[in-house]
Amino acid sequence: MSHKQAPKTIRPLDLADIDDQLSEEEKAIRQAVRHTCEQEVDPYIAQWFESGEMPALRELAKKFGEVGLFGMHLEGYGCAGMSAVDYGLACLELEASDSGIRSLVSVQGSLAMFGIWRWGTEEQKQEWLPQMATGEAIGCFGLTEPDHGSDPGSMRTRARRDGDDWVLDGTKMWITNGSVADAAVVWANAGEENGGIRGFVVPTDTAGFSAPEIKHKMSLRASVTSELVLDGVRLPGDAIFPEVRGLKGPLSCLNEARYGILWGAMGSARSAFSAALDYSTQRTQFGRPIAGFQLTQNKLAHMSNELTLGTLLALHLGRRKDAVGLRPDQVSIGKLNNVSKAIEICRTARTILGANGISLEYPVIRHMNNLESVLTYEGTPEMHTLMIGQSLTGEAAYR
């Protein structure tokens, strides 16, 4: 089967001239990521999705490491130290290829690496961050559990003291990169006497650690998703993040990942819209291209507006993050709006392609299916809605 990818040009999609707000350096970074995806991802992504396999994940990770994608917004330890806008543009280009590819980079850089960079000891940073930045080592992030997603404070994974060591027992679920990771940042309840929820760096070759891959899924098929099983995993005392306690640690990491998602979703939307726009000018019915019909133009205009508004929101939040930082509710606004609008764009694009819209010869159904996962991971729309509601009213409706 041949796989038709959406055209890479963004000329007809930038009616608001958003490009004029980017510096030449930002455009160059975006182009470098786009070029990497065109060479290393786009020729293969539809087949990876169809087969549900990522046969060359480690090789791809090293390619990404070579161009500085992992932890690119972090300082030191071999990381590129780029701006939030630079990182956002990279996430947009990665997800224009596939959400699973952006997830690989997000989990590596914004969850595993950021967790170590922000909360780890100097020894942990020196051991893991340089090799993660190059893609030589892969990381994952263990927070979600089979029975605890939106309420991570109720997690059942436990950490107990045994002499100078820590022993971890529990199960994590829906963990990107889990079965290929070299290190897992795992959050566990250590009991009130030890500060409650604590973070640990767990080498995945530690006895008692296993990560069976989750195979039966219809979304993010070009991504490794696993369960983490911790069965008496014994760690030395210095495996713990020494300072952070409670949900502050994992939520700080999630906010970093959510920021990348609000950009990335616009990449999926752009790819689907571009495919629909291109298709509408070539598909002829009743003796004329369907792009010439008012109902099709209504769909295209609406998709274009939402894509433009979502991209402008992402850029605004990126500029603010670079200038003064972002509050969690501001990240929630971006994640809730942009992922929801991206799904709407993909579904509308699917209707323009008609029956061809469900074929993997085009990228639309793949993006649409992927976004169903993106909608609920790193905070469901319900939770982001309530976070915004709490910010507006001062009342926490989810407690």
- The set of catalytic residues is 378
Which residues lie below 8 Å from residue 399, measured CB to CB, with a gap of 6+? none
Which two three-digit tokens encode residue 147? 């029975």
Beta strands in the chain (DSSP E): 139-142, 158-162, 165-176, 183-189, 197-203, 209-210, 225-235, 284-285, 288-289
What does the alpha-carbon distance between residue 220 and residue 151 come to, in Å, rounded to a whole number? 23
Grouping H, G, I as helix, E, B as strand and the rest as coil, residue 161 is: strand
- Other CB atoms within 10 Å distance of the CB of residue 122: 8
User: Exposed, middle or buried by CB within 10 Å (0-12, 13-18, 19+), for 298?
Assistant: exposed
Residues 6+ apart with CB under 8 A from 323: none
Helices (H), 13-74: 24-40, 45-51, 57-66
Strand partners, 268: none
For the chain, what percentages of helix, strand and coil (3-state, to nearest 5) are there?
55, 15, 30
**Local structure of 230: helix, strand or coil:** strand
Whether residue 37 contacts residue 96, with contact meaning beta carbons closer than 8 Å, is answered with yes
Tokens of 101: 């590819």
Are 99 and 30 in contact, with CB atoms under 8 Å apart?
no
Distance CA 39, CA 60 (A): 11
Rg value, the chain, Cα: 21
Beta-bridge partners for 234: 167
Measured between alpha carbons, how far is 370 from 387 in angstroms, rounded to an integer? 24
